[in-house]
Amino acid sequence: MSLDRFLRLGETMTLGTHTFTAQEIIAFGRAYDPQPFHTDPEAARESVFGRLCASGWHTCAMWMRYNLEGIERDVFGDWDGSGAKPEFGPSPGFSNLKWLKPVYEGDAITFTRAVTAHRPLASRPGWHLVTLAAAAHRQDGEPVMTFDNGVLMKAT
Amino acid sequence: MTDKKWAFEELEPGVTIPFGEKTVGADEIVAFASQFDAQPMHLDEEAGKASILGGLSASGWHSCAIFMRMLYDALLADSTSQGSPGITEARWKRPVIAGDTLTGHTTVLERRALKSRPGIGLVTFRHLVTNQKGETVMEIENPIMFKMRKAGDAR
């Protein structure tokens, strides 16, 4: 089996759907991003957003949760190639993150991921850099967030 | 008009704003990871030590959230911020290990008025998060929108 097939190169995988509640938006906002439009429904009505909405970092973190659940459900293919099954490691970072629309309380957000490329790392023998396109869409199909993510993968 | 300390006008290229200090505890690393990034190196001391990261380490998304709180406390809380359209680039340079004390600063790279939204300007920052050894743990480039004190004050 090739790494292309294992990683389903170029295929957009649906990871799951999460409905953001006011309670969790406010809890995350109070801990990490206490701008009034993330913590106070009254103040949010007076803000540019018009209603209580999730911190952009909350949407990112939720993408990660569904991304991992997707891996556990074997969104990536079963490994029947030679050598050990590839293992995912840490991520060096992300880029081009766009918060396109606010995520309001009650929005049902569907998370997706597609592997766009992979290459062996000259600096770390045995490791590859896998590049992913991540996205989140609202119940009406509008994209609310996109970004490009990298993750290290151990594979022989 | 605004009584906030930081509006578009004050955020000139080169302006640097220091962050406060934040010690990251094992409990909060595990709590965040349990909710959003339940990988062994973010949940368990032994698994962390055995991993490439070398200890119980915060999820990169947790580091981003902690950074956001530092930026809020240092700048956004007393500003005319109107939110951010996104992150140009974020690099996780080193792991954040339980017990680490983070700090850092942000520097204005450039700014411009938004033609589409009179009275609002876009300010691009380079944020830097460091640990108690002075090592860079995270670098982020990010534009944020701010109201102007006076509409048409764009330079």
Every domain of chain B and the residues it spans: 8-147
For tokens 């106070």, name the residue: A40
Residues of B in contact with A57 (CB under 8 A): 61, 64-65, 68
Question: What does the H/E/C string look like for chain A?
Answer: CCHHHHHCCCCEEEEEEEECCHHHHHHHHHHHCCCHHHHCHHHHHHCCCCCCECCHHHHHHHHHHHHHHHHHCCCCCCCCCCCCCCEECCCCEEEEEEECCCCECCCEEEEEEEEEEEEECCCCCCEEEEEEEEEEECCCCCEEEEEEEEEEEECC
For residue A56, what pLDDT is reported? 98
pLDDT digits (tens, 9 = 90+) for B101-126: 999 999 999 999 999 999 999 999 99
Count of domains forming chain A: 1
Q: What is the CATH number of the domain that holds A70?
A: 3.10.129.10
Q: What is the pLDDT of residue B153?
A: 56
- Flag if B90 and A89 touch (Cβ within 8 Å): no
- For the stretch A74-97, pLDDT in tens is 666 678 887 888 888 889 999 999
Percentage of residues in chain A having pLDDT higher than 70? 97
- In this complex, which of A48, A64, A94 lies closest to B36 when CB atoms are compared? A64
pLDDT band at B1 (very low <50, low <70, confident <90, very high): low
Complex confidence, ipTM = 0.94
Q: How many CB pairs under 8 A join A and B?
A: 92
How far apart (Å, rounded) are the C-alpha atoms in residues B75 and B54? Answer: 33
Pairing of strands B86-92, A87-88: unpaired
* Calpha distance B68→A131 (Å, rounded): 25
State the residue range of the domain holding A56: 3-154
Amino acid at A61: A
> Residues A122-144: what's their mean pLDDT?
96
Q: Does residue B154 have a pLDDT over 60?
A: no
pTM (two decimals): 0.94
Kindly list the distances between the CA atom of residue A46 and the CA atoms of A37, A41, A49, B66, B147, in Å, as whole numbers in the listed order. 9, 9, 8, 26, 15
Between A98 and A78, whose confidence is greater? A98
For residue A114, the cross-strand partners are A12, A133
**Cα dist from A86 to A13, A36, A110, A152, B40, whole Å:** 19, 44, 27, 10, 17
For residues A15-28, average pLDDT = 97
Chain A: residues touching B (Cβ < 8 Å): 28, 31-35, 37, 48-49, 55-57, 60-62, 64-65, 68, 89-99, 147, 152
Write the DSSP string, chain B: ----SB-GGG--TT-EEE---EE--HHHHHHHHHHH---HHHH-HHHHHHSTT-SSB--HHHHHHHHHHHHHHHTGGGB-B---SEEEEEEE-S--BTT-EEEEEEEEEEEEE-TTSTTEEEEEEEEEEE-TTS-EEEEEEEEEEEE-SSTT---
Arithmetic mean of pLDDT, B65-77: 98
pLDDT at A90: 87
Look up residue A24 and give its two tokens: 């969790």
Which option is the CATH number for B8-147: 3.10.129.10, 3.20.20.70, 3.60.9.10, 2.40.50.140? 3.10.129.10
Instruction: Provide CB contacts within 8 A for B139, sequence distance 6+.
Output: B89, B90, B91, B93, B126, B127, B128, B129
Closest CA relative to residue A149, chosen from A113, A121, A110, A124: A113
